[in-house]
Amino acid sequence: MTLTSTPGRTDAAEAAALRAEVRAFLADASASGVFVPRCDSWITGHSPSFSRTLGERGWIGLNWPSRYGGRDRPEMERYVITEELLAAGAPVAAHWFAQRQTGPLLIRHGTEEQRVRFLPAIARGECYFAICMSEPNAGSDLAAVRTSAEKVDGGWRVNGRKVWTSHAHVSHFGIVLCRTSPLGERRHEGLSQLIVDLHAAGVSIRPIRLLNGEGHFSEVVLDDVFVPDDMVVGSVGNGWSQVLSELAFERSGPERFLSTMPLILAFIDAAGADPDAETAETIGRIGAELWTLRRMSIDISRALGRGEAPNTRAALVKELGTRFEQWSIDAIRRLSGDEPDPESTDRVALLLAQAIAAAPTFTLRGGTSEILRGIVARDLVSS
């Protein structure tokens, strides 16, 4: 099953009208204090009430089929909304992973029962999922996961430990990658994905704090957790190929180059109509880089909507996009003359401080740059 009923190019006028509507809504919400714009808001801005408001407007999963709570709209409209939310620094983290990954995963591989149960609740902005892939010794080397699920009467008994799980402590469910048969010679076989109720008996969640005191990811310990048979996603043993297609969604979206957009916009604002030559050159470079990244990302988004798996191209967008994000912070810091300050009332200084604190994670989360370059290199060699 593909993601959208009308994949491909959308009517530009409709997309432009939607963009104007979303932008006006966000300007209003920001001006009236519903949210304070911040960098990296797709991971730092967790607001169930804001997610529910977006759900009421039909702006979550609007490219999904209407029988699953979507609006049957073209993929490009979902993309437009995503861009505007990120550029505005709106608090979208609560529903982010469910919309970006879990929805498409269930549409492709879920049972009808799972789709009907979860997708409309995700689209309403009421049901949040965490992505439980990484483990203490299985990050880049994801096939090394040790979390195991043993077959028992009516389901599976799950034991293991996940780390760096974004928003697990405030999510309802986790998609847990685990071994359903012992590790053999073929490491990618015997893996499966289970939907785990994060409030079930045996689940304990410990938030992990960042150096700046913020905490948006957790350690998730699974101790004899019972998961019923109907919570297996796709087929038992097919987890690896399902995860690979999920990673293309995770790596190619505009959040891989727009995390610092609120800072960039504040910097351009502060530069005024007649910036000095170096500032003007930097703004030009930012625009050129963003334009290229956006074209690549939109192409992938369309391919995903058609049910393809553009994994190498997605790795490329993530590697280039996150490198751009980190470069943009350095460039603005050098030119603005502002001291980064998380308490500042000056927008550039405040957003700079947020962006600097988040920057080291850009090239780690979703796959490190070294791993992404390896994926691209392998594909170039084999093609």
Ligand X SMILES: Cc1cc2nc3c(=O)[nH]c(=O)nc-3n(C[C@H](O)[C@H](O)[C@H](O)COP(=O)(O)OP(=O)(O)OC[C@H]3O[C@@H](n4cnc5c(N)ncnc54)[C@H](O)[C@@H]3O)c2cc1C
User: What is the rounded distance in angstroms from the CA atom of residue 301 to the CA atom of residue 249?
Assistant: 8
Distance CA 23, CA 17 (A): 10
CA distance linking residue 178 with residue 191, whole number of Å: 6
CB of 251 to ligand X, least distance (A): 11
CA angle 74/78/84 to nearest 5° reads: 140
Residues 267 and 348 sit within 8 Å (Cβ to Cβ): yes
Q: CA nearest 290: which of 315, 265, 272?
A: 265
Minimum separation from the CB atom of position 239 to ligand X (A): 13
Query: Whose CA is closest to 58, among 70, 76, 72, 42?
Result: 70
Q: What is the CB-side half-sphere exposure of residue 229 using CA atoms within 13 A?
A: 5
Tracing tokens 């927008």 back to the chain, one arrives at: 347
Distance between CA atoms of residues 119 and 116, nearest Å = 6
Catalytic residue of the set 250, 289, 319, 325: 250
Query: 374, exposed or middle or buried, with CB in 10 Å at 0-12, 13-18, 19+?
Result: middle
250 noted as active-site residue? yes
| Partner residues linked to 155 by β-bridges | 152, 228
Interacting residue ranges for ligand X, rule: CB under 6 A? 131-134, 139-140, 164-166, 217, 361, 364-368, 370-371, 374
Task: Choose between 166 and 328: whose C-beta lies nearer to ligand X.
Answer: 166
Q: How far is CA 114 from the centre of its chain?
A: 21
Residue the block writes with tokens 């979550």: 60
Q: How many CB atoms lie within 10 A of CB 72?
A: 13
Residues annotated catalytic, as ranges: 250
